[in-house]
Structure 1
Amino acid sequence: MLNKVPEVTLYFWIIKILCTTVGETAADYMNDTLGFGLDKTSYVMSAALIIALVFQFRARRYVPGIYWLSVVLISVVGTLISDKLADDLGVPLVVTTILFAVLLAITFAVWYASERTLSIHSIVTRRRETFYWLAILFTFALGTSAGDLFDEKLGVGYWPTVGIVAALIALIAVAHLGLRLNAVLAFWAAYILTRPLGASIGDGMSQPAKNGGFGLGTTGTSFIFLAVILALVVFLSLTKVDRTENHAPDPGSGDESDQRYGRHLAESDGLS
């Protein structure tokens, strides 16, 4: 089985942020605009996510359409889990933020203890793929809770939150590129932060002007971003520029698992 996730390129981060925005606005659209309610929306989107993940796990290599559909759906479900705890069950956002942070830390700890790596360049087994998607779910739920806490409870506002989170991601990028911050740590830190970034962008675009938004509504915002995601996924499917088979891992990275993965790719390419 070849690596099941895309190479981390600019396209990856753009689509990831778009997916987090859709996760926020689509959940609100189904819950409020369509009147499904939180419970029915959760059931429908969880069922859709399970179906998408079945296809994702059955695939033998990274398929852009299946992968990014799974990311969109897991973004929505992660948002709904956080909203369910905070809105329906009355769990404080501080508690849900800590809870999801602990669950994510446990996932990473068990993943590393089992596989000796957290690198996404080596998602080549079912077990690693299971850890990967579990971590993705918790990053979305954590990002939703932390973003809501920072944005709403602390009264920072949508667009100031976008600026602050974007600055934190930029600092991580500088630390990685200039100060040699560990690549795996930098990736997951930035990945978590893209959730409140995308959610704040979604709220800022969908909410009415009186609340500091652009007034596009959840319907308009969701369909605009879904259209852009679809266009980018079609582009990636045709060009294959984000396939990890086209990017050799750094032989000096010191990650033995990644080096074995590089040899695995070389052997696979020789067989194809």
Structure 2
Amino acid sequence: MPKYVLTGADGKLGSAAADFAVEIAKPEDKLVFTTYKLGAIPKEKLEAWKAQGAEVVEASYDDPPSMLAAFQGAEAVSMVSTWAFGERREQAARVIDACKQCAVRRICYTSFVGAGEEVEKEEDLPFLPRDHAHIEKLIKASGLEYNIQRNYLYADNIAELFVPCWQFCGDSWLNNTHHVRGAYVARDDCGRVQAALLLGRGQPNKVCHVTGPEAVTDGQIMDWICDQTGYQCEFVDMPDAELRRWWADKGLPDDFRGTSPSCP
């Protein structure tokens, strides 16, 4: 009975992956979902996973003994990035070490678009892919088989993170993408890919890119949202330095560690 461990089942991406994993698992597959705290998962979802044969246990990237207990006997372990900027690299190193101690054969990782770019030094990468690029290198140097998926920008983040700021910005989307198109993808679709790779539906030692069906500009997305809701918003393209100053003047800090960004 092969054992597959999906970590971070309490998160939005991990939860979507868990939903799909119980759907596609074979009868002989043993699924173990981990969470930093059982109470972080809605009771009805927890019960549904258990009813479909999954075991749910507490384990944390910051608690190696808990990972060793969860990973014992696993064929593969899936690891997601947390919001812990400044700490994610150490967390990933601990997961990889736990996998090796438990003789896990394969590790899966949800990376980010741009992490595979060839650059002379890390600072040449945009900020968001830097941790992912570092973690990918750790995985490839570990000796473990791997599946890496580089997810493109979540379409969900626009509604969850950007739209709430529009009113604060004077019914404007202050934006520095300069009309460059991006292949936004639904987070749930990324979760389905994550589950499929964990359960061996991909070739080992491969990197796949998970994108949406069409590359669009942020302005097009804003126009669609306004058309659907009736909200009136102006798209304002700004130089990087000017946008940075605008937010700094509003009190946005320029240093952070271990927490998720939020709008005022």
Bin the TM-score by the shorter chain.
under 0.3
Greater RCO, CA 8 A, separation 6+: 1
Q: Going by fraction, where is strand more abundant, 1 or 2? A: 2
User: Which protein has the larger Cα radius of gyration, Structure 1 or Structure 2?
Assistant: 2
TM-score normalised by structure 2 residue count: 0.27
TM-score normalised by structure 1 residue count: 0.26
